[in-house]
Structure 1
Amino acid sequence: MKISKRIVFMGTPETSKIYLQTLLDNNYNIVGVYSQPSRKSGRGMEGRDSPVSSLAKRNSLPLFNPENFKSHIEIEKFKNLKADLGIVMGYGNILPSTILNECNLGFINIHLSLLPKWRGAAPIEYAIINGEKETGVTIFKLNNKLDAGLILGVKKCTISIHENKDDIMSKVNNIGKNLLIDILPRYISNELNLFPQIENNVSYAPKIKKIDTKINFSETAIKVYNKIRAFAPLPGAWFNFNGERIKILSCKIIDKKGKASTIISDDFIIACDDNSIKPLTIQREGKRVMKVEDFLLGFRFSKEDKIY
């Protein structure tokens, strides 16, 4: 039986698709889907739908791909949906007050951190970079401030020292979709007590730039290790060697000292500020991901070579 409340879903990347599919699987009444416009990608630079747009099309859901909500026409399109509730996960567009105030149940957002920690676009990456031992999912009510609204529910999970971004993403999305389905009926029926975020505990996770993924081997080995985990497998943490950009997708810490940012062994151990790291999987520019042993078969270097 389809749940009667009219819901608009807003999301764009692959991880957002998980939550739209969960709503469909649980018979929620999705009257509209908003996602970023198609972007040109690939060798042919052809327009490619976002994962959420593709899912909406496969399920014959009304789909909207505005660049923004600055035009009166786009606002009217939204109003015509007569939505009771908006659910947002990784949409990528700012929602003006005219949209936020249109639904009688407001908008709720699914955020992959334990708010108010790591508000912003890259919470999982920042949690791993900073050596956090736990993270989770927070579902909160949207307002005009960045990730600052009243909280509907929170679910925690651990971060293992051996897990990378993909591992954590999979874990938090699994608990996130269950949390959404657990709290949504109670929110709709006004049986949920919302609570404020503790502003003293705020930290921010801004959008990742290319330079943020560059490895600095002058930092401690654990910091280098965490950065590599945080960007694996995509976009990949990288360094420059002889003009080539090389990504390290996994590594281990080695109790071996040397001059920071220097190759100190024939099996490609790289010295950091205190100890060293040994890459385990590597990707050269334009090449496939490979084990370090295969990488070394076709890679020329000398001990004491500097890495930048």
Structure 2
Amino acid sequence: MFLSFWGAKRRRISHTREIPSTSSGQALRCVQDDTLNMRIIFFGTPEFSVPAIKALAMAGWNIVAVITKPDKPVGRGLKIESPLIKTAAENLGLPVLRPKTLRDVAAGLQPAHSTERRLKPAPTFIHQLKSLKPDLGIVVAYGKIIPDAVLNIFPKGVVNIHPSLLPKYRGPSPIQAALLNGDSETGVTIMLLDKEMDHGPILAQQRMKIENTPKTVITKHDAAALNSVRMTGLALSNKLADIGAQLLVEILPKYLDGEITPQPQDHGRATFTKILERENGQIDWKQSAEHIERMIRAYDLWPGTWTLWPAQISAPAPIRSDELQSGKSQKFQSGKRLKVIRGSLLHPTIGCATNSTPGYVWQTEDGQLATNCNPGSLILELLQIEGRKSMSGQDFLHGYPKFLGAILS
């Protein structure tokens, strides 16, 4: 991993060094009391934002409020869940605000949880922010655009942690894009927000190499390949969150003391990512096995990677013990999703299927479940039918023997 600071003034900082692989969460320099006393409002929502707020709190920064999204129903049962940053903030004793909108309307706040410190209400949310007299805003994966009216509240600006090496991969899905495109490195950018998306000047960047070579298995006894770990979207997100948190507490005092001059991005080199919808996870078996394997790893957290249950198999044999005892059969209509949770490339020396059609399901000589791609074949290591538990490819084939020879779409 490499570290670079942009535009250092008093001491010219432009160097490369190794960064410890574990997150200490400790401030990396002595910070003046008047700097630590600056009033910070933190914006964040998912797990990615948790290491940053913990690092700031441990370093002694004065966080006067945490802004996050309202609770929402999740999962098949539509259970109401709170953002993870809310739980982290409560554990740190920080007040939490959950506005439905950041616009200057009288939307107000959701009723405060009994454990939250109550703040004096204001006619509008923006007035409430102003009443806190903040100096600096920090945004880490908040998940909403911060309007100009909010940005203008902060005299010292709004600092953002973005999980890519800007100007590459602006937008909402930079982690997935790095894995999907087979990049060998990525990183974190600390920047100042402006009115355009991920467009503002850069304070610091830190690079990180990623193991993004697809796993290739020769046989099911190939322990080295089977046990090798390739980076997934969730794993990369966790690593970048820790790196970003460490980098933030290191450069924040330098920025506030005027030691770092924000540097404009090279906007001509900017690339952009998109909001990922569930449909983006559907596999096209006419693509290469290498691309599909990267897709499985990149989309593991969201939107998942899936194919449609084969139309040729309308009533597969039951596999659950309670269904076997009751005599119930599993009726799956074509169009039901079959999630591919883990896969690997099949080494070309293994051979190939008798049918070359992309999406054709076959079995290798040593019993591995594979699917044709174009080119190559993918071993289906872990599968999950919509609404059921996941199972290995071999177990899946035992429960659904008619799956062999099907054409996936």
Whole-Å separation in 2 of the counterparts to 1:55 and 1:302? 45
Contact persistence 2:175–2:298 (CA under 8 A): yes
Choose which of 25, 37, 40 in structure 1 pairs with 2:73.
40
RMSD, matched Cα: 1.8
SS of the counterpart of 2:128?
A: helix
Q: Which residue of the partner structure matches residue 50 of structure 1?
A: 83
**AA in 1 matched with 2:338:** I
Aligned pairs (5 A) from 1:45-84: 45-70=78-103, 71=105, 73-84=124-135
Whole-Å separation in 2 of the counterparts to 1:129 and 1:36? 28
Structure 1 residues 296 and 228, CA gap change in structure 2 (3 angstroms): same
Structure 1 residues 41 and 15, CA gap change in structure 2 (3 angstroms): same
Uncovered stretches (5+) of structure 2, i.e. residues with no partner: 1-30, 107-123, 213-229, 311-333
In the TM superposition, residue 137 of structure 1 has moved relative to its aligned partner by 0.5
Whole-Å separation in 1 of the counterparts to 2:167 and 2:126? 30
Alpha-carbon displacement from aligned partner over 1:184-215 (angstroms, at most 9, x marks no partner): 11011111122111122211111110110111
Alpha-carbon displacement from aligned partner over 1:138-195 (angstroms, at most 9, x marks no partner): 0110000000100011001112122111221122122111111111110111111221
Percent of aligned positions that are identical: 31
Whole-Å separation in 1 of the counterparts to 2:73 and 2:372? 40
Give the strand-richer structure, 1 or 2.
1
Residues 1:8 and 2:60 aligned together: no
In the TM superposition, residue 58 of structure 1 has moved relative to its aligned partner by 2.5
SS of the counterpart of 2:362?
A: coil
Whole-Å separation in 2 of the counterparts to 1:287 and 1:19? 36
In the TM superposition, residue 65 of structure 1 has moved relative to its aligned partner by 0.8
Q: Which moved more, 1:206-215 or 1:264-273?
A: 264-273
TM-score, normalised via structure 1 length? 0.94
Alpha-carbon displacement from aligned partner over 1:73-123 (angstroms, at most 9, x marks no partner): 111001011111000011122222121111111101101111111111111
Contact persistence 1:6–1:84 (CA under 8 A): yes
Whole-Å separation in 2 of the counterparts to 1:44 and 1:205? 31
Contact persistence 1:113–1:137 (CA under 8 A): yes
SS of the counterpart of 1:264?
A: strand
In the TM superposition, residue 42 of structure 1 has moved relative to its aligned partner by 5.2
SS of the counterpart of 2:38?
A: strand
Whole-Å separation in 2 of the counterparts to 1:89 and 1:222? 32
Structure 1 residues 148 and 23, CA gap change in structure 2 (3 angstroms): same
Choose which of 365, 374, 382 in structure 2 pairs with 1:273.
374
Contact persistence 1:233–1:249 (CA under 8 A): no
Whole-Å separation in 1 of the counterparts to 2:208 and 2:370? 33
The alignment covers a number of residue pairs equal to 308
Question: Which structure has the larger Rg?
Answer: 2
Residues 1:207 and 2:305 aligned together: no
Residues 1:251 and 2:334 aligned together: no
Whole-Å separation in 1 of the counterparts to 2:90 and 2:403? 54
Q: Which residue of the partner structure matches residue 115 of structure 1?
A: 166
TM-score, normalised via structure 2 length? 0.72
Uncovered stretches (5+) of structure 1, i.e. residues with no partner: none
Contact persistence 2:282–2:305 (CA under 8 A): yes
